Structure 1
């Protein structure tokens, strides 16, 4: 490969990263930027590869890259379609107001909010969980300072809740699909992750003395909505148990669940011209999926030109636990999806316990800055006054909570190894 092409591809990758970081300034969607640079990079790589074994090798690398992306895409489409339906029908909103009392102290509400965000994000994707959580916070009509406090907790809790289940966080799903961790080990991450959320809620609640009046917005639910909610829960449980017992790929289980959802809707005569069930596939966040596509194409390209070979050197310089902790902090400035993909593609060799530490780090570390995760970006776009600088005031507290959670993961791993 010509040196000029090598450096051009590096520039493309850096330009895509800059597009992600400065999306709020350029007003150009990060999905459009990454998809453009990801596709054009592979086209140039193939076009300039000499015909024969070298070009065949590049084409083989692209095929592997596309196959991995396809598995991730299909899983996310199935999971996000479920959530899109349940959210549109008001079941999620009803569930929220069902558990909330009419009146509650601000401190108590902070803990309830953190717990809800944590649990909900384990089942739904981070974007949907953040949208629902932020809508709840805004409905409380709190003052600006308290609203930003609640939103900050939401971002951290949503990212923390997603790390323990493959349905909750893309990076967790990526690490799992790469065969680095198993589901039973991942579930252990929920203990230190939830402890970190409660620690942050405790610190943020200092000085809060007021009460909040909750105005219910419950809607009537139909049998079909409850039935599809049941199918969703059974699908999640089947995904976990099926993989643990029979190594059934999660994407296959979720696609099966999605097909059952379609059949249930037909059985209840819900699938009609006025509200076709297949239309809910179109309502999911395809911009997020296209962003993942572009990023993973770029990371695959970087692997192909052997740029990622330098990443394991960080782990050779400092202890693995320290390197994982550092990667979590780095993920606050570099989106955790490309960072995780890069680490997976680099050929990094770690034990399952060490991969668990990295799973927590890249899943939660993005919470340190508002631009470091999809949850933060969504919250910033929805909450008035939640700017980069306003969020950064809480970065020291977020770093303390992140450190506590990471220490908990490390302690659990040490106990398992004894």
Structure 2
């Protein structure tokens, strides 16, 4: 039966990886795989386990294990729904137009650094997908030549993925590690920030020396466009501040992160409703009772959050949990630790090979990084803030930049600018690879230095 389960899991993986080939949304194989795996476990009355203290497997009833994993998955989903809603509320007030005020130059090289730096910083606060959408939308209003925009978009993808890797709220995978108590916010930032900077700065520096980025852009920057709402800047800074408050809330209260996100959402939503009602009552006094609901920014924002992504995460996380509950991931991790040599310092307490983590990063360019990190959480039963978790956060977050379909940021850039797969591979892929390896080398050097300093 375990062989059948593995076959189902592999087929589901293939369906997810080839969603663009099959033209089927990846949530479909993810949800199908989840349901089939748990159904097979139930029908065959297979023994399920929970990992105890990272050293052994303790048998449990199926209903209890299923509820345990559903609860852990729900923490991530509720957190993401809150973050998505805050981002949509900011967009409702056209808050992201505030970013355009930071762009005052016509120099191609300076524009490249400004856009990639904004992508790096924004993706650490909101997610890398939203940061990419916002910046490419602004880019389309500034850079007319499509060939030039493609280069900008490709480098924005690299910077956005690098920015999301060092922040517990910047990427789904780092959020998963944070909520699962594998990393703390402070230690993640301390160990992954410098590697992430190297990951985006090295390829951007190389690109900025190219002939393509010499000189100025052709068109003048337009300051005529006015934001759709006078409250845009207020909601932009309030929304970003509310999301940044979440790690502070967790540190102070030791409650799960989704609690802090719900508090932040409540505050942002309350301000949004107040501002919207004020505007409505002054400018649309003739509306009926239903009109206020129709103009509610919260209702509007909730209707725009990405439910397909939420359902995909539900499917893939619960599918990985099925294999974890059987102890298969735990056993596989033991095999890896015995067969793959470790390349770091000899006194390092974890035995996860750097090669394994680097391969995981490379694999995230082909296979979605969410199931890879979910599998890692189930496989490697090591302590919180072990350097291996920080390396996994870096590798899974940045490795997807090597292919345009390897990350959510790349996929959305591909759609917005109609980027050809082979064009990205030839023009941007090698830069992303250099950045990935530069960041990995920075991480290993920094990790070994910190370990030697504390030994």
Q: TM-score, normalised by structure 1?
A: 0.91
Cross-structure match for 1:118 = 120
Cross-structure match for 1:39 = 35
1:129–1:158 CA contact under 8 A, matched in 2: yes
Give the CA RMSD over aligned residues: 2.4
The question of 1:62 aligning with 2:84 is answered no
Cross-structure match for 1:173 = 175
The question of 1:367 aligning with 2:363 is answered no
Cross-structure match for 1:289 = 310
How many residues in Structure 1 have an aligned counterpart in Structure 2? 410
Cross-structure match for 2:288 = none
Where do 1:260-409 residues align within 5 Å?
A: 260-268=267-275, 269=277, 272-276=292-296, 277-308=298-329, 309-316=331-338, 317-319=340-342, 320-349=353-382, 352-384=386-418, 386-393=419-426, 394-409=428-443
Q: Secondary structure of 2:61's partner?
A: helix
2:399–2:436 CA contact under 8 A, matched in 1: yes
Selected match of 1:98 from 85, 96, 101 = 101
Cross-structure match for 1:85 = 89
Compute the displacement of 1:279 (Å).
2.9
Q: Give the 3 Å change call, closer, same or farther, for CA 321–256 of structure 1 in structure 2.
A: same
Distance 2:319 2:260 in 1: 29
Compute the displacement of 1:114 (Å).
0.6
Compute the displacement of 1:110 (Å).
1.0
Distance 2:75 2:171 in 1: 15
* Runs (4+) off by over 4 Å: 50-56
Cross-structure match for 1:146 = 148
Q: Give the 3 Å change call, closer, same or farther, for CA 353–114 of structure 1 in structure 2.
A: same
Q: Secondary structure of 1:211's partner?
A: coil
Compute the displacement of 1:142 (Å).
4.3
1:21–1:371 CA contact under 8 A, matched in 2: no
Q: Give the 3 Å change call, closer, same or farther, for CA 273–241 of structure 1 in structure 2.
A: closer
Q: TM-score, normalised by structure 2?
A: 0.84
Compute the displacement of 1:23 (Å).
1.2
Deviations 1:170-227 (A, max 9, x none): 110111122121111122222321232121111122112231233344415334x555
Q: Secondary structure of 1:248's partner?
A: coil
Distance 1:160 1:297 in 2: 27
Q: Secondary structure of 2:106's partner?
A: strand
Compute the displacement of 1:84 (Å).
0.9
Distance 1:325 1:359 in 2: 11
1:227–1:264 CA contact under 8 A, matched in 2: no
Compute the displacement of 1:363 (Å).
0.8
Greater C-alpha Rg:
2
Deviations 1:101-152 (A, max 9, x none): 1x41111111111101111111112221221122233333444432222121
Compute the displacement of 1:36 (Å).
1.8
Compute the displacement of 1:51 (Å).
10
Q: Secondary structure of 1:104's partner?
A: coil
Compute the displacement of 1:56 (Å).
5.9
Q: Secondary structure of 2:167's partner?
A: coil
Deviations 1:344-389 (A, max 9, x none): 01134366222111110111111111221111111112212x1221
The question of 1:19 aligning with 2:15 is answered yes
Selected match of 2:24 from 19, 24, 28 = 28
Deviations 1:389-414 (A, max 9, x none): 11111322211111111222223323
Q: Give the 3 Å change call, closer, same or farther, for CA 69–51 of structure 1 in structure 2.
A: closer
Compute the displacement of 1:164 (Å).
1.8
1:262–1:278 CA contact under 8 A, matched in 2: no
Q: Secondary structure of 2:173's partner?
A: helix
Distance 2:215 2:13 in 1: 43
Distance 2:115 2:93 in 1: 22
Cross-structure match for 1:210 = 215
Gap runs ≥5 in structure 2:
50-57, 281-291, 343-352
Distance 1:51 1:313 in 2: 21
2:245–2:264 CA contact under 8 A, matched in 1: no
The question of 1:222 aligning with 2:230 is answered yes
Compute the displacement of 1:337 (Å).
0.4
